[in-house]
Structures are given as C-alpha cells and as structure tokens.
Amino acid sequence: MKRFTINQLVIIGLVAALGIATKPIVVPLVHIITGPLFIPGGSLAGGFYMLWLVLGAGMIKKTGSGTVIALTQALLAIVLGIYGTHGIVSLLTYTLPGIAADLVFFFSVNKKYNLIHYFLAGALANTCGAFTVNLFIFRLPLIPLILSLSIALFSGGLGGIIAYNLNGKLSKLKVLNEG
C-alpha cells in the first residue's frame, strides 16, 4: 500500500464505495429483464458497477490498482453485509475481476490506456465475475451459462466504454494530477 499516494488511496476508496453502492440500485432493475431468462442479474448489471473498478484502475495507472479496488469492495461487502453478499466467497467473486482488469491494463505501452483497454478490462472483469459467481453459487447449466457469460462480456465492455469516457472528463478536471 505504500506505493500508492494518499490521493490514489482516496480514489481507490471512492470507486470501491461507488461500485458497492451502485449494485443494490441496478441489480433489482435488471432482474426485470434477466429473471424470465433464468440468468443472474449480475451478468447484465455487472457492467454498470464494474465500470467503477475499471475507472479507478485506469485513473491510477499502477499495476495492481484494480486488484486493490476489488479487494476493498470485497472487504466492504463482507464487513457491511450489504445486498448480494456471498459471505467469505466474496473475497474471490470481487477480487478476481480486479485481477482480470489489471491483466488487461498490464499489456499497455507506457501506461497509455485507450478505449480498447477500457473495453477489454470491463468485459474481462465482468465475465470473470459472472463465471466465478456461477462456479461457487449458481451452477447454471451450459446453455444459460453461455448466455450469462455472453451478456456479462457485452455489459462489461459497455461499462468499460463508459469508464473511458468518464476518465476523459475527469482528466480534463485534473482530478488526479499524478502518474
């Protein structure tokens, strides 16, 4: 944690909290669409709360920042016992998407992230989260699982695009002045 500045730690805390706060608002609305299809709502809604993880990792531009954000979210979910918590399994279901986002951002030249990085980070993070939750909680049959993961990929990518646009707006405001 010593390699993060105070400003970066504040960003980590804020985006982690925003991701946790977004979930109970978005998931019930999405259940209207996913419920009749017997698909977990998080597959579609995940893109909207994973965007905060991707945004934070993209703003901070340090290896492992997505993982730290995701771990912070996991700890918040466990400690607060918030909506949608899966108990101690939350350590995996929240943290693995952060690792997935970090993997995408790792493969950039000089930490110059573009729209493709954000799209892939969101898509991979949400798909990883949907798969992990399915593995430990839902255990969907093959066809609903493929549909769920396809929706997660699309939704996560869309969340990544939104994160990219938000980061552009925030960088113009000089929210994070350091590299």
pLDDT by 10-residue block (mean), the chain, 179 residues: 90 95 88 85 91 96 96 91 74 95 94 96 97 91 93 97 96 71
Burial of 178 (0-12, 13-18, 19+ CB in 10 A): exposed
| pLDDT tens digits along 146-162 | 999 999 999 999 999 99
Tokens representing 174?
Answer: 């000089």
Where does the chain show beta strands of DSSP type E?
A: none
**For residues 70 and 98, is the Cβ–Cβ distance under 8 A?**
yes
Tokens representing 112?
Answer: 């110059």
Instruction: Give the CA distances from residue 18 to residues 2, 8, 13, 35, 114, in Å, rounded to whole numbers and listed in that order.
Output: 23, 15, 9, 25, 23
Instruction: Give the CA distances from residue 78 to residues 84, 86, 137, in Å, rounded to whole numbers and listed in that order.
Output: 10, 8, 16
**Domains of the chain by residue range:** 6-172
Nearest 5°: the CA angle 80, 84, 88 is 65
| pLDDT tens digits along 17-40 | 999 999 888 988 998 988 887 788
Average pLDDT over the chain reads 91
Q: Give the model's pLDDT for residue 167.
A: 95
Largest Cα span, the chain: 47
Q: Give the model's pLDDT for residue 83.
A: 57
Whether pTM exceeds 0.85: yes
Instruction: Give the CA distances from residue 167 to residues 95, 116, 160, 171, 172, in Å, rounded to whole numbers and listed in that order.
Output: 22, 14, 10, 6, 9
End-to-end CA distance of the chain: 16
- Of 1.20.1050, 1.10.1760, 3.40.50, 2.40.230, the CATH number of 6-172 is 1.10.1760
Among 154, 172, 128, 136, smallest CA distance to 34 is for 154
